[in-house]
């Protein structure tokens, strides 16, 4: 490819049109929606919700599924059903979406942050044991970007200390650990169907598990404290109304026909990008040896400024965006949020913990300087789309290497 002037400096951008649109309408959705509208109930008791739960449980190698209105609420419900309440501690990585910590706080528990592994961006199992106390109730591994966390190590630690694992698989539809889909590898797990996710209903979530008692407890917490076989106005605990709408279920059902093809396309394109971009000096993420499939919800890379004349990641982003490929930094360390810095009174039990002392160096290095994110829809394009992405990376990285004088830093 002839390297023209960067679009950032007035050249022609590599890409002038948007990438693969997401979410997109798939075959059967309109018919399913209309069928539900006319022939089904629209909420609890709906056939489409029941079908979604059966299909999602089957798709994810689990016995049971409960369809929920958001992933955040699914996680709160799962934590409550796992027995989390005030005074308990829950171990989470600080490199995740805010919802992971929101659910812990909504359950009146204390989040304990454990740093991540720089190669996978997932919680580092080697650091978990020293964070366990007699108050630790749950560990939440987040399968970040759809790349499963090291479940073998985490399960062995959890079992040794009699702690439950609730997987945050919000981004990991279809991902596998040792040939088995994630989510029900220990006590249970949750998924999100929010707009950006690989299966999307605009909003939505799910809990899966193989444990009937746990799922009965989830049922009560997600459905106003009701028992499965109790009366409508019989409430044993305080639960919310976190039920999914039948319209969301109807948007999701036809996606069981498309997800396998989407996953294969992302896998193929990801492999190509991994190979070419690592040759350009970017660091690709790795998977643990037992990961048999990733869902590639996010394409995650590391930018090391030393490979590019110490030019900052921000300059790289500006140049990529000008070429028409939107790359960005993603998460910040969660413990830097105001609520952990003593601001706000909503969670008084946090006041006695000094989160400003916390340092998770790997998370900080990745979040502050290194992470590069590309959303999953970029991996769904055809060959010419992927070539545009590669050409943009090549144009930008070559200029960073060969013409550092063009950049301010
Ligand atoms: C890692 C993670 N956990 C939890 C959630 C919460 O899901 P939702 O947005 O459906 O509430 C999300 C999604 O946004 C997520 O990415």
Q: What is the DSSP string of 83-113?
A: T--TT-EEEE-SSS-HHHHHHHHHTT-EEEE
Same domain, 264 and 227: no
SS3 16: coil
Query: 202, 221, 255 — which closes off a domain?
Result: 255
78 & 205 share domain: yes
Q: 140 and 220, same structural domain? A: yes
Q: Does a structural domain hold residue 363? A: yes
Q: What is the pLDDT of residues 154-187, one digit of tens each?
A: 999 999 999 999 999 999 999 999 999 999 999 9
Query: Do residues 235 and 291 both lie within one domain?
Result: no
- Residue 206's H or E segment, with its range, is strand 205-209
Instruction: Please report the pLDDT score of residue 156 as a whole number.
Output: 98
Output the CA 189–ligand 1 centroid distance in Å: 12
**Does residue 78 contact residue 190 with C-beta atoms inside 8 Å?**
yes
Residue 1 is assigned to a structural domain of this protein:
no
| 345 and 271 within one domain | yes
Rounded CA separation 133/140 (Å): 15
What pLDDT score does 315 carry?
97
- Series of mean pLDDT values for 10-residue runs along the chain (409 residues): 82 96 97 98 97 98 98 98 97 98 98 98 98 98 98 98 98 98 98 98 98 98 96 95 98 98 98 98 98 98 98 98 98 95 87 89 98 98 97 98 90
pLDDT score for 4: 83
Distance 75 CA to ligand 1 centre (A): 9
Distances (CA, A) of 398 to 1, 36, 73: 11, 53, 45
CATH of the domain at 372: 3.90.1150.10
Q: Are residues 294 and 242 in the same domain?
A: no
**185 in the same domain as 305:** no
Cα 27 to Cα 33: distance, rounded to the nearest angstrom: 11
Residues 242 and 273 in one domain: no
| CA–CA dist 125, 111 (Å, integer) | 17
Q: Hey, which of 69, 72, 105, 331 would you mutate to test ligand 1's pocket, going by the most ligand atoms within 8 Å of its Cβ?
A: 72
**Residue at which a domain ends, from 215, 239, 255:** 255
Write out the two tokens for 216. Answer: 């009965």
- The residue among 215, 231, 255 that closes a domain is 255
Number of domains in the chain: 2
Task: Please tell me if the CB atom of residue 170 comes closer than 6 angstroms to any atom of ligand 1.
Answer: yes
pTM score above 0.85: yes
Continuous segment of H or E residues that includes residue 181: strand 180-181
Compute the distance from residue 98 Cα to the ligand 1 centre, in Å: 8
Q: Is the CB of 205 under 6 A from ligand 1?
A: yes
Residues 215 and 171 occupy one common structural domain: yes
384 exposure class (CB count in 10 Å sphere: 0-12, 13-18, 19+): exposed
Residues 11 and 114 in one domain: no
Residues 194 and 73 in one domain: yes
Taking the centre of ligand 1 as the mean of its atom positions, its distance from the CA of residue 405, in whole angstroms, is 41
Q: Judge if the beta carbon of residue 109 lies within 6 A of ligand 1.
A: no
Alpha carbon nearest to ligand 1 atom 8, residue: 71
Residue from 177, 191, 187 nearest 148 by CA = 177
The verdict on residue 2 lying in a domain is no
Same domain, 314 and 241: no
pLDDT at 76: 98
The pLDDT of residue 342 is 82
Q: How many helices (H) and strands (E) does the chain have?
A: 11, 13
Q: Name the residue at shortest CA distance from atom 7 of ligand 1.
A: 71
**What is the domain-level CATH number for residue 156?**
3.40.640.10
Domain holding 390, by residue range, is: 7-23+258-406
CA 359 to chain centre: 22
Q: Which stretch of DSSP H or E encloses residue 249?
A: helix 246-252
């Amino acid at each position: 490819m002839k390297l023209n002037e960067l679009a950032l400096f007035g050249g022609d951008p590599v890409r002038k049109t948007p990438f693969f649109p997401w979410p997109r309408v798939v075959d059967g959705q309109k018919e399913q929606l209309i069928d539900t509208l006319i022939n089904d109930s629209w909420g609890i008791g709906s056939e489409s919700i029941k079908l979604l739960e059966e299909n999602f449980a089957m798709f994810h190698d689990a016995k049971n599924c409960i369809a929920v209105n958001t992933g955040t609420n699914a996680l709160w419900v799962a934590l409550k059903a796992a027995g989390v309440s005030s005074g308990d501690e829950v171990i989470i990585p600080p490199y995740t979406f805010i919802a992971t910590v929101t659910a812990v706080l909504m359950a009146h528990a204390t989040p304990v942050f454990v740093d991540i592994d720089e190669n996978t961006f997932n919680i580092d199992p080697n650091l978990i044991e020293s964070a366990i106390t007699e108050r630790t109730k749950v560990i939440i591994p987040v399968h970040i970007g759809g790349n499963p966390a090291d479940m073998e190590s985490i399960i062995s630690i959890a079992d040794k200390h009699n702690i439950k694992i609730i997987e945050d698989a919000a981004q990991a539809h279809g991902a596998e650990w040792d040939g088995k889909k994630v989510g029900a590898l220990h006590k249970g797990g949750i998924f999100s169907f929010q707009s950006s996710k690989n299966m999307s209903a605009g909003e939505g979530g799910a809990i899966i598990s193989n444990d009937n008692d746990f799922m009965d407890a989830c049922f009560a917490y997600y459905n106003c404290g009701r028992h499965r076989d109790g009366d409508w106005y019989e409430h044993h605990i305080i639960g919310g109304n976190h039920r999914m709408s039948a319209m969301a279920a109807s948007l999701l059902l036809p996606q069981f026909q498309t997800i396998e093809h989407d996953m294969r396309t992302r896998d193929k394109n990801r492999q190509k990008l991994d190979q070419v971009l690592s040759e350009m000096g970017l660091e690709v993420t790795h998977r643990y040896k037992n990961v048999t499939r990733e869902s590639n919800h996010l394409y995650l890379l590391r930018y090391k400024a030393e490979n590019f004349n110490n030019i900052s990641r921000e300059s790289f982003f500006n140049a990529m965006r000008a070429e028409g490929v939107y790359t960005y930094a993603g998460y910040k360390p969660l413990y830097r949020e105001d609520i952990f810095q003593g601001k706000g009174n909503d969670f008084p039990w946090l006041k006695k913990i000094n989160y400003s002392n916390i340092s998770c160096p790997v998370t900080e290095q990745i979040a502050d300087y290194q992470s590069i994110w590309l959303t999953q829809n970029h991996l769904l394009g055809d060959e010419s789309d992927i070539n545009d992405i590669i050409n943009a990376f090549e144009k930008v990285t070559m200029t960073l290497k060969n013409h550092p004088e063009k950049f301010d830093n």
